[in-house]
């Protein structure tokens, strides 16, 4: 192991493809209706790339061919247009009639034309049984964003656009702009009042939590009371304003854990005299639900520490590739039994034999370093104190344990660990899927209380989606919430990023 640590001691350096355009068939030439003659190329170039410059219905109105100012051209189904218009949804964003889908295929396009200089497209429909159905208007930016996914590309050299699979998220583009950091990092800071009122500041904060993974929020202040039920309320109220509710613990009455410097700590997690190793939280919970972690210093001024799992993983990948391979592929188990709260959700006294906890089991088996489908580091799951019995295959046990010991020593290495002052009334936020933290150093005689809350990844991603919609609507009021919601993330990002 000493040899492993000596090697590389230098500090870390910083849908199927669309078919090609088919020849014009008789049905394409004999379009039901042709829109206003195509604008001159010079005029089109002055328009927004998404503006509609030409359109015509084909195949008896079953499809519509739309050409945009950026010279892209798509054939789209009339029934898709009818089914997807925001008019199908009510004020609650739910579809107004579950039976509409039964007859959507009976609509044909009877006319179509650009409006508002190409910023909109008006489409007239006729129903096969009931006749004319009246016009519906589409925002061209919306149509342009959806067209590559739902349309048949007719322009030459059309870029390959994969079919949408899985949910995706608008934060994915931030993953490639992450920058690893070491002990000398300058921790970003945000003002709590600005965060609570300013959409742009919130977006900047979310971006920071992916790109850097750690930040401090100032100006939270002290709680009205340091009692268990009240000590974490300022944090909980702040998180509610900028993100949403913190995760609810299975037993605890509060949405946060609460640690006070006492003579009778509940467990090793709550024992200030215990030099807790650098770790990520929720390792024993399947899937690691704590994505953003909020740590609120309700009482006391302390000095604490964090380190960047991304930086250490890249270091291992460069200097110990065999160890990196094992850490990303071999699955270990974190597991424990939680028996720290009564059935009513109150903390138990571990020294009182009559204090009965409401126990529940936890188990999570996973690699230390989780990679996403692009091979990027997605999640660090590390907590030596909660590591359970690991059923490691005989053939990999020894090399994996050597790699794991290397990893567990590197997360404590002074080159990577950043120490910082943590004043009372502030919140330290970590990306718990990336940044590890350790036990704060509390000065002798100082009282200390800290509340910890978590929000899961799905809630974070969807809040970011909403914030980006707010920004897009502000920039272009014609693209209001009706057009920006209910879309797949992969299409929405073409409009808001």
Which region among 2-11, 123-132, 366-375, 418-427 has the lowest average model confidence (pLDDT)? Answer: 2-11
Match 């057009």 to its residue by tokens. 483
Q: What is the pLDDT of residue 264?
A: 52
* Mean pLDDT to the nearest integer, 152-158: 95
Confidence of residue 273 (pLDDT cuts 50, 70, 90): low
Which region among 156-165, 281-290, 347-356, 457-466 has the lowest average model confidence (pLDDT)? Answer: 347-356
Q: What is the pLDDT of residue 7?
A: 44
Neighbouring C-beta atoms of residue 375, cutoff 10 Å: 8
What sign does the dihedral 397-330-378-363 (CA atoms) show? negative
d(Cα 432, Cα 411) in Å, to the nearest integer? Answer: 14
**What pTM was estimated for this model as a whole?**
0.88
Confidence of residue 440 (pLDDT cuts 50, 70, 90): confident
What average pLDDT does the structure give for the chain? 89
pLDDT higher than 60, residue 380: yes
Q: What are phi and psi of 409, to 5 degrees?
A: -80, -35
Match 């409009």 to its residue by tokens. 495
pLDDT higher than 80, residue 170: yes
Which region among 27-41, 152-166, 256-270, 421-435 has the lowest average model confidence (pLDDT)? Answer: 27-41
pLDDT higher than 80, residue 8: no
Which region among 154-168, 261-275, 325-339 has the lowest average model confidence (pLDDT)? Answer: 261-275
Q: What is the pLDDT of residue 41?
A: 41
pLDDT higher than 80, residue 46: no
pLDDT, tens digit, for every residue of 306-337? 999 999 999 999 999 999 999 999 999 999 99
Confidence of residue 11 (pLDDT cuts 50, 70, 90): very low
Q: What is the pLDDT of residue 15?
A: 36
pLDDT higher than 60, residue 13: no
Residues 6+ apart with CB under 8 A from 105: 79
pLDDT, tens digit, for every residue of 49-104? 999 999 999 999 999 999 999 999 999 999 999 999 999 999 999 999 999 999 99
pLDDT higher than 70, residue 271: no
């Amino acid at each position: 192991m000493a040899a492993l640590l000596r090697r590389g001691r230098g500090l870390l350096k910083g849908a199927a493809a669309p078919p090609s355009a088919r020849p014009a068939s008789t049905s394409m030439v004999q379009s039901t209706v042709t829109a206003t003659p195509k604008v001159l190329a010079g005029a089109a170039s002055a328009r927004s790339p998404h503006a509609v410059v030409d359109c015509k219905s084909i195949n008896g109105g079953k499809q519509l061919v739309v050409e945009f100012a950026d010279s892209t051209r798509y054939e789209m189904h009339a029934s898709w247009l009818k089914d997807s218009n925001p008019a199908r949804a009510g004020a609650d964003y739910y579809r107004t009639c579950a039976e509409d889908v039964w007859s959507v295929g009976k609509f044909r396009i009877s006319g179509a034309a650009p409006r508002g200089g190409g910023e909109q497209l008006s489409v007239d429909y006729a129903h096969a049984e009931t006749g004319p159905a009246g016009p519906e208007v589409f925002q061209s930016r919306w149509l342009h964003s959806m067209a590559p996914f739902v349309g048949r590309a007719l322009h030459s050299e059309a870029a390959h656009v994969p079919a949408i699979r899985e949910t995706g998220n608008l934060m994915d583009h931030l993953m490639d702009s992450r920058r690893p950091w070491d002990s000398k990092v300058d921790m970003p800071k945000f003002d709590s009042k600005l965060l609570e009122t300013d959409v742009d500041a919130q977006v900047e904060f979310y971006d920071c939590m992916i790109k850097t993974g750690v930040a401090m929020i100032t100006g939270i202040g002290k709680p009205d009371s340091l009692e268990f039920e009240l000590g974490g309320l300022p944090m909980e109220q702040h998180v509610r304003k900028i993100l949403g509710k913190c995760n609810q613990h299975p037993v605890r009455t509060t949405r946060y854990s609460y640690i006070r410097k006492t003579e009778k700590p509940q467990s090793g997690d709550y024992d200030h005299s215990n030099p807790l190793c650098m770790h990520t939280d929720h390792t024993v919970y399947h899937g690691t639900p704590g994505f953003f972690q909020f740590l609120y210093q309700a009482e006391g001024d302390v000095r604490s520490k964090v380190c960047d799992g991304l930086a250490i993983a890249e270091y291992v990948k460069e200097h110990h590739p065999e160890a990196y391979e094992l850490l990303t592929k071999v699955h270990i188990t974190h597991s424990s039994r939680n028996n720290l709260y009564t059935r009513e959700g109150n903390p138990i006294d571990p020294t009182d034999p009559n204090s009965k906890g409401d126990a529940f089991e936890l188990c999570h088996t996973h690699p230390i370093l989780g990679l996403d489908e692009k091979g990027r580091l997605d999640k660090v799951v590390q907590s030596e104190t909660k590591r359970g019995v690991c059923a490691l295959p005989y053939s990999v046990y020894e090399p994996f344990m050597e790699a794991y010991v290397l990893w567990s020593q590197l997360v404590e290495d002074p080159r990577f660990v950043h120490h910082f002052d943590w004043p009372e009334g502030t919140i330290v936020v970590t990306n718990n899927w990336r940044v590890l933290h350790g036990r704060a150093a509390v000065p002798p005689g100082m009282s200390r209380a800290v509340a910890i809350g978590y929000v899961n990844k799905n809630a974070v991603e969807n809040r970011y989606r909403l914030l980006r919609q707010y920004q897009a609507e502000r920039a272009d009021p014609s693209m209001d919430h009706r057009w920006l919601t209910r879309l797949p993330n992969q299409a929405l990002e073409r409009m808001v990023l």
